[in-house]
Structures are given as structure tokens and as C-alpha cells.
Amino acid sequence: MRITFNSKFNQSLDGILNTQKRLLRAQDQMIKKTKILTPADDPSGSAKVLGVGQNLSQLSQFEQNGIAVKNNLGVEETVLASVRTAMDRARVLAIAAGNGSYAESEREAVASELEGIQQQLFDLMNSRNVEGGYLFSGFQDGLQAFSLDASTGQYVFNGDDGQKALQISPGVTLPVNDSGKKVFDSIQVKPQPTAPVIAVPGPTSAAVNVINPDVFNSFYINNYDKVTPANNTISVELTAPSNYQILRGGAALVPPVTGAYTSGQPINFNGLEIVVNGPAGAGRVDFDLPAPEKTNILNTLTELMTALRTPGPVDAAFQASVAKAVGEIDDASTSVASARSAIGGRINVLDSINGSNADLEILATQYQADIAEVDFSKVIADLTKEETALQAVQATFNTVTNTSLFDYIR
């Protein structure tokens, strides 16, 4: 059979190209560290690798979200720790100023320090997160959380009660902030009875002060009527010959609360001290329980500073103002402590889930390696074999292509 020169040349060239192709494949496997270079190499394995890759990408995103959550919560926890320290100092000053021994100049010094604490708290409550947004503004992190309303002299909350959140696992989403409305702006104002009025002539004057805030607060919580406002009117009715009776909404209490009346002598009722001046026998003094109201620590300090800077002796009204401020500072501190506790719980959950995600990432990476990772000992052997084969086929090609009739004539 006659073999033409072109046939020999093409066969030799095909051998070189095929060998080079196998060599390049081995080199690609070595460089890319995978034995699946195209889906055609292993359709089933390629699909599995794709699925595992998507899972690893998701775990990587969860890891990034976890870092963002921890950073934001870390900033918030640090801010709240400073807030609590400032509140504790304010409480100490309030209690000290209420002991009755301070002169006006000393009360002014306390008020000045409280003013500095108020400014510190104002700055802390308007802290920013790691991304530059206001930490306690809820969803409205572009708005300053708290500001002073110049028309009322009150500090107001400008944000909303939303909580931004990030997903840290397929089924767990963690809040990355707390709204200032919940943490700072939901302090229940300690109720103070309204100024008494002489509803029925007889008494010449009257005063009502809170002497036991805990007892009065309990009475207020159990007796304030949101449905029937008239039931929030408390009356001291003077009856003949020299007695008094406490009424609620114009009706006697059950059981009745009565006693002997002496002008100018205090009447104690559920944490209140009621002093009525005037003749016995007839007349009535009314005062109301105020509607529930919420405030923030900044406004509480403003009221306390006003009381401290009011000239005059330390009287029952001043003591009531101090007691009210101390109670509201305590409630504010409790709210901050609850927020810090919630942050600690979130961080614990985050650390636990981060550990689980890390374990899942290791398992997924191992599974991916089992499917697609190249066996370096095998690919090195293949690479050596193909290099040797290429050298052999190139040598053969040179021999074959250099052969001609003139080689036999010599």
C-alpha cells in the first residue's frame, strides 16, 4: 500500500497536536487545581461543584453580615455603657441635692454639673454607627435622633421605632441597632397630682405633695381610669363636726377613708400628703391624677435643674421634684440595662451561629475538594508522561518529514 508524503505529515502533525492538547490539559489542571475544567469533563460533578460554590458564597455573605452586626452592636454597647455611667452620676447628684442641707450656691453647683451630664448624654444619644448613620434613629438613620425644641424647651425624638437587621444564617436575622424611642424616650413620667382647687367654699388653701413615690405610683397604676376621666378626680370633703372623707369621682371609696380634720395638719393618703387650711365642718378640695406621659432622661434633668435653681428653702415640693427625678433616672437606667442585656444576647447568638457557619464552610469546602480537586501526584505523573510523549512524537515527526528519495540515492 502506498503512503503519500501528505498522509505521513498529517498523521505526525495530529499526533503532536493531540499530545500537546493532553499536556495543556494536565498543565491547566495543575494551575487551576481542579480536574473539572469544563462541564463536559464531568457533568454531574460540575453541577455539584456549582451548588457547593453557591453555598460557600452564601456562607461568605453571612460572615460579612455577621461582622457588620458585631461592629454595630459593639459601638452601641460602648455608647450605652457610657450613658449608664453618666446616669449613675446624675442619680448620685440628685440624691445628694435632696438631703436638705445644701445651700442655694451648692444646689447651683449641682445643677451646673447636671447640665454638663445632660450635654454628654445628648451627644451619646446622637451617636453614629460605623457607617456614619445615627445609631438610635431607627430606620431614619439620616436624621439626628434627638434635638431640642426651642419653642417648648423639651428634647424630642426625631426618628422612628424601626430596627435594621441583617441575615446571618438561612433562618436567623439579627437587629443591628435599637431605636432611641424604646431605649431613651419611653420613660414613664412619675405622676404628680395636679394643684388642688377649692371646689366647695370653706377651706382657705390646700397643698398636695408626694411623700412616698412607690406607694403613690402603685395607687396611680391601679386607679387611673382611661375610660372615665371623672374617676381621676380625688377630693377631700370636710364634714361636720370636724372630720374629712376621701372621695373618688364624687363617690366615697370602698371601704371609706375618713379621719379627724385639723386645719394645717397633713392627711396621708396612698403616698400623698394633703394639707388643708380652713375651718372644719364644710367644704371640699379637689385634685386630679394626671394622664400617663412618657419622657426621656434629658427632659428629666431639665426639670431637676429647674428645681435646683429655684430660690427658696428646701420644702416638700422641692423634695417631691427630686424624688420624681430620681425615680425617672432609675427607670432610664433600667431601660439602658435592658438594651445592653439584649445586645449581649444577640452577640451570643451571633458567635454561636458564626461557629456553625465556619463548620459548614469547612465541610462544604471538603466536599467540593472531594468532587473537583485535582490529585497532584496523578496530574504530575500525567504531565511528565505527556511531556515525554510530546518529545517522542516531535522526534518521530522530524525523522518522518525529513525522509525523501534522495536519502536512498546517497
Examine the pLDDT at 104 and tell me if it is beyond 60.
Answer: yes
Examine the pLDDT at 132 and tell me if it is beyond 60.
Answer: yes
- Decide if 299 is inside a domain: no
Report pLDDT digits (tens) over 142-188: 999 999 999 999 999 999 999 999 988 888 889 999 999 999 998 98
How far apart, in whole angstroms, are the C-alpha atoms of residue 12 and residue 397? 5
- Decide if 376 is inside a domain: no
Report pLDDT digits (tens) over 155-164: 999 999 999 9
Q: How many domains does the chain have?
A: 2
Confidence category of residue 28, pLDDT binned at 50, 70, 90? low
Contact 187, 328 (CB under 8 A): yes
Q: Indicate if 171 and 247 belong to the same structural domain.
A: no
How far apart, in whole angstroms, are the C-alpha atoms of residue 270 and residue 274? 10
Contact 357, 55 (CB under 8 A): no
Q: Indicate if 253 and 283 belong to the same structural domain.
A: yes
Output the nine-digit C-alpha cell for 116. Answer: 454638663
How far apart, in whole angstroms, are the C-alpha atoms of residue 273 and residue 222? 19
Q: Indicate if 62 and 174 belong to the same structural domain.
A: yes
Alpha helices per DSSP H over 245-315: 297-308
Q: Indicate if 180 and 320 belong to the same structural domain.
A: yes
Confidence category of residue 1, pLDDT binned at 50, 70, 90? very low
Q: Indicate if 252 and 218 belong to the same structural domain.
A: yes
- Decide if 171 is inside a domain: yes
Helix (H, G, I), strand (E, B) or coil at 1: coil
State the residue for C-alpha cell 396621708: 268
CA-to-CA separations, 294 to 22, 182, 193, 267, 300, in angstroms, rounded: 79, 11, 16, 29, 10
Q: Indicate if 118 and 158 belong to the same structural domain.
A: yes
How far apart, in whole angstroms, are the C-alpha atoms of residue 238 and residue 326? 34
Report pLDDT digits (tens) over 188-225: 888 989 999 999 999 999 999 988 888 999 999 999 99
- Decide if 229 is inside a domain: yes
Examine the pLDDT at 369 and tell me if it is beyond 50.
Answer: yes
- Decide if 18 is inside a domain: no
Contact 186, 335 (CB under 8 A): yes
- Decide if 44 is inside a domain: no
Confidence category of residue 120, pLDDT binned at 50, 70, 90? very high
- Decide if 82 is inside a domain: yes
Q: Indicate if 84 and 140 belong to the same structural domain.
A: yes
Domain of 342, in residue numbers: 56-189+314-358
How far apart, in whole angstroms, are the C-alpha atoms of residue 332 and residue 221? 19
Examine the pLDDT at 380 and tell me if it is beyond 70.
Answer: no
Helix (H) or strand (E) holding 148: strand 146-149
Q: Indicate if 112 and 245 belong to the same structural domain.
A: no
Q: Indicate if 75 and 216 belong to the same structural domain.
A: no
How far apart, in whole angstroms, are the C-alpha atoms of residue 264 and residue 210? 17
Q: CATH number of the domain that 86 lies in?
A: 1.20.1330.10
Q: Indicate if 163 and 201 belong to the same structural domain.
A: no
- Decide if 160 is inside a domain: yes
How far apart, in whole angstroms, are the C-alpha atoms of residue 268 and residue 369? 81
Encode 27-36: b = buried (16+ Cβ within 10 Å), e = exposed: ebbeeeebbb
Confidence category of residue 383, pLDDT binned at 50, 70, 90? low
Report pLDDT digits (tens) over 40-95: 555 655 556 566 667 778 878 888 888 889 999 999 999 999 999 999 999 999 99
- Residue 399 amino acid letter: T
Q: Indicate if 112 and 165 belong to the same structural domain.
A: yes
Peptide bond into 255 cis (omega under 30): yes
Report pLDDT digits (tens) over 252-280: 999 999 999 999 999 999 999 999 999 99
Q: Indicate if 79 and 184 belong to the same structural domain.
A: yes
Task: Kindly tell me the sign of the dihedral angle through the C-alpha atoms of 150, 155, 159, 160.
Answer: negative
- Predicted structure pTM score: 0.73
Q: What is the dihedral of CA 82, 84, 85, 89, to 10 degrees?
A: 140
Instruction: Average the pLDDT over 128-135 and give the result.
Output: 89
